[in-house]
């Protein structure tokens, strides 16, 4: 992929510019934050369908006869029990239980896996994997990020838009399942996953085909969407952003990722730390909250109770789907119950907020 200074570009860079995308730095990449309106793009995904260039995400092949037990040792949930064609979400934690990254693992064959880490985390994830790999006779690790591209097609009309272009029944592809097929004659891996809270899929294809795929989706009526609307949508769905809501200073239990951690497996590198954290219980937890007073919460703003600072906002913004201001933040255990109240210090103004059960938005209840 081309580089502009220190920023990398995906194969869709020219397509974004041609569509009027406003390009910004993100995770070491030059990416579109929006095309026309962030809120309109978010609404399009909720009501119809939108597409996102997610080629900045990593694509790491882990293969070989020892690949399943190796991934079991570094991933927070069991990988060896995955059936072929199924995917699983979890965390890659360091020896102290800190979250190096959250990622998805797809089992493509008995001894072939694809790991999809977050953009800027691909180098540290690769470094961590190579630290623990048992050797090339058992496991090979290959960074395929430059060879393949990735487009997310999300929204209630997503499957209807492309169903006739594939020789498989997309409705039969379950959530967190994938199929290797063709789309309009182009080779793709379609996984029923996403980061918006809507149904849809993520398409991985060789980089030389992705612009054709993107233009096809646009011609069919999918709304091109940027990072801004993606952040709005994932926040509404209560999905975490590494670098904001989680990082190596946080662990899965305080981040509410309990169901994505199985620390009792033998050989798990952070097993001792994760078992200790689970058994002792974290002293703080990540909560969702809605603003009672007028004000938009933003990353880094203090959460206070009276004169005491009790936490910090990790993500926040306006929700066009719910028409209210929402946020995420870490607070002590005494403030985590739904209905609990505190204030957010918004540029020196104390604005009341109330803890809300996550997710803020779910398509099953919309």
How would you write the pLDDT of the chain (366 residues) with one tens digit per residue?
444 458 999 999 999 999 999 999 999 999 999 999 999 999 999 999 999 999 999 999 999 999 999 999 999 999 999 999 999 999 999 999 999 999 999 999 999 999 999 999 999 999 999 999 988 789 999 999 999 999 999 999 999 999 999 999 998 999 999 999 999 999 999 999 999 999 999 999 999 999 999 999 999 999 999 999 999 999 999 999 999 999 999 999 999 999 999 999 999 999 999 999 999 999 999 999 999 999 999 999 999 999 999 999 999 999 999 999 999 999 999 999 999 999 999 999 999 999 999 999 998 755
Position 3 scores a pLDDT of 44
Position 2 scores a pLDDT of 43
Question: CA 93, CA 74: separation in Å to the nearest integer?
Answer: 7
Say which residues have a Cβ less than 8 Å from residue 81's Cβ, sequence separation at least 6. none
Helices (H), the chain: 13-18, 38-47, 67-74, 122-132, 158-162, 210-219, 227-236, 271-280
Position 365 scores a pLDDT of 59
Cβ pair 226, 29 in contact under 8 A: no
Position 312 scores a pLDDT of 98
Which residues, in sequence order, are bridge partners of residue 53?
A: 151
Torsion 151-157-161-166 (CA) sign:
positive
Position 136 scores a pLDDT of 78
Structure tokens at 127: 């470094």
Which residues, in sequence order, are bridge partners of residue 332?
A: 284
Structure tokens at 295: 């004000």
Position 366 scores a pLDDT of 54
Say which residues have a Cβ less than 8 Å from residue 194's Cβ, sequence separation at least 6. 152, 154, 200, 201, 202
- Count, residues in the chain: 366
């Amino acid at each position: 992929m081309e580089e502009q200074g220190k920023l990398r570009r995906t194969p869709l860079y020219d397509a974004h510019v041609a569509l009027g995308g406003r390009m910004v730095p993100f995770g070491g990449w030059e990416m579109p934050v929006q095309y026309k309106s962030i809120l309109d793009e978010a609404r399009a995904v909720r009501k119809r369908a939108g597409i996102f260039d997610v080629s900045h995400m990593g694509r790491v092949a882990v293969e070989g006869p020892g690949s399943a037990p190796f991934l079991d040792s570094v991933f927070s949930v069991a990988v060896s029990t995955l059936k072929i064609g199924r995917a699983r979400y979890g965390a890659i934690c360091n020896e102290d239980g800190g979250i190096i990254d959250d990622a998805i693992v797809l089992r493509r064959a008995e001894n072939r896996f694809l790991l999809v880490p977050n953009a800027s985390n691909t180098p540290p994830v690769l470094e961590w994997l190579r630290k623990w790999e048992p050797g090339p006779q058992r496991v090979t690790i290959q960074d395929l990020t430059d060879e393949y591209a990735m487009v997310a097609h999300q929204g209630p009309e997503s499957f209807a838009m492309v169903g006739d272009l594939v020789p498989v029944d997309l409705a039969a592809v379950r959530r967190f399942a994938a199929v290797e097929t063709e789309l309009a004659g182009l080779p793709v891996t379609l996984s029923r996953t996403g980061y918006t809270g809507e149904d849809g899929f993520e398409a991985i294809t060789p980089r030389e085909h992705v612009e054709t795929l993107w233009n096809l989706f646009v011609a069919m009526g999918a709304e091109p969407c940027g990072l801004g609307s993606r952040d709005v949508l994932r926040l509404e769905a209560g999905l975490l952003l590494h670098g904001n809501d989680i990082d190596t200073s946080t662990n899965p239990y305080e981040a509410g990722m309990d169901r994505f951690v199985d620390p009792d497996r033998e050989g798990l590198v952070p097993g001792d730390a994760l078992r200790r954290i689970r058994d002792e219980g974290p002293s703080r937890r990540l909560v969702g909250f809605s603003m009672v007073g007028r004000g938009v919460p933003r990353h880094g703003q203090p959460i206070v109770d009276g004169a005491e600072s009790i936490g910090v906002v990790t993500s926040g913004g306006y929700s066009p789907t719910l028409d209210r201001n929402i946020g995420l933040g870490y607070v002590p255990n005494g403030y985590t119950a739904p209905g609990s109240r505190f204030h957010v210090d918004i540029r020196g103004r104390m604005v009341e907020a109330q803890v809300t059960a996550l997710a803020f938005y779910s398509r099953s209840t919309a």
